[in-house]
Copies of this chain bind each other. A is one copy, B any other.
Amino acid sequence: MISSPPKPAKPKLATRRRLIDATARLFAEHGYNGLTMRSVAQEADANLAAANYHFGSKDALVLEMLSERIQPINKRRLALLEEAKRRNGKLAPSAHEIFHSLIFPIGEEIARSSKSRWSLAQLVARTFTEPVYFIERMHQKFFSQIAKLYHQELSLAFPNVPTKEIHWHLHLAVSSMLGALAQHRRLRDFTEGVCSEEEVGEMINRLIRFVTHGFVMGINSSSTE
């Protein structure tokens, strides 16, 4: 009698993968200091020593997870920005198109990660507010170049506006984006149930319009004063 190769009923993903996913969930919920190797092991249904075996340390594990989650979003941002530039030919993209390319990819990733949808929003926002030094450093590495690029693009779109004004308003726009992502889970409480966190696309679209208005109107009012 030939028996088929014994496959586990639930074909577990590789331990490495489960560890990273568990780290993402727990980091988003509890932050770096609130995340423990034991909680990761339990959440990933793995042994405590597994995380250190695969990644070497807690820091390395978290960095690997952050890199894996953030890089695709940045790639998509650049793609959308290029697409907008191609679409406009010689004209510079509008502020709305630029901020759309900056913010929309996060919404896409949130929608893609169907399980515990909002954890990614919390995660992205957490990387900005975490006081842990190495996370600050690495986030700067991930984001400083993309910030430079968007500043260039906005300077082209608003050629008469001083560099400093662009800097100020871009900073406010990015801060607003991060604040909105970080606070979104409190939307229901804050609005006494009137608005719901489930409306992912609506939140992203409103956010894009909000920062576009703040940016454009701020730029114009400061240059005419």
Contacts and interface: CB of A to CB of B under 8 A. Distances in A.
Interface of A: 29-31, 33-34, 125-126, 128-132, 140, 144, 147-148, 163-164, 167-169, 171-172, 174-180, 182-184, 186-187, 189-192, 194-195, 206-207, 209-211, 213-215, 217-218, 221
A71 to B, nearest CB: 20
- Count the copies: 2
Contacts of A214: 176, 210-211, 213-214
24 contacts: A30-B131, A33-B33, A128-B183, A140-B186, A147-B190, A148-B192, A167-B191, A167-B194, A167-B195, A171-B183, A171-B190, A172-B176, A172-B180, A174-B190, A175-B180, A176-B180, A176-B210, A176-B214, A179-B180, A179-B182, A209-B218, A210-B214, A210-B215, A213-B217
B209 A221 contact: yes
A58 B210 CA distance: 39
A29 B131 contact: yes
A187 B171 contact: yes
Given A176-B176, A176-B180, A176-B214, 6 more contacts: A31-B31, A31-B131, A169-B206, A171-B191, A175-B182, A179-B179
Given A128-B182, A129-B129, A217 B217 contact: yes
Interface hub of A178, A179, A182 (most chain B Cβ within 10 A): A179
